[in-house]
Structure 1
């Protein structure tokens, strides 16, 4: 019976060793998951800060863009509007023919509406 008891004791010791190792691994995994969770929370907070900072600067960037357009309007619009004015004056004088029709047809339709030439209005943030 000594042999049977020693086998039972060895089996019991191996189970307890298994259980101890299992508990140690579970504790280690829990600690690792806590660390990952804390890092994800910190990352989320940093991303929220970056997003809020960028949204704060969107309005300022928009105002600077409008200021730049007022101070220095794009040259393309001025050239297109002069072409339209020239073709309108030719048509009103009766100098319009088939040759001019094909070359000036594109200049009769400006790419932007006249409202694009108006100075942009600046709205208060309270509105």
Structure 2
């Protein structure tokens, strides 16, 4: 079943549409996600890159080398600063969206936790879901569902 999901930044200047079912959904506990979320983890959903389209506005792209050694690129609103879409140079065929930016975030169901080796001692990943010390390859994630 093909899903259509829509989302936007805080001010609504940048909007996106996804036409696909998610490949994987989960929480990431890496330090970059902690910093960009302002909390213990960030919740995201991964899709084929071709299924994710910016339909309004022109997001700014910021890239940096992360703990895995890969370059991660984040697209964010130049007005309100909220980031909505990201991708990794090691797997550019996939893009992730931040769950909190969805118009209907209730569609999200976490399938596991990534980078739990970086989780803060004051916040614990859900022990009922699969946990990965670092970031496994996408093939491992999509078959672990």
Sort the TM-score into its range (normalised by shorter chain).
under 0.3
| Structure-1-length-normalised TM-score | 0.17
| Greater Rg by CA | 1
User: Which structure has more helix as a fraction of its residues?
Assistant: 1
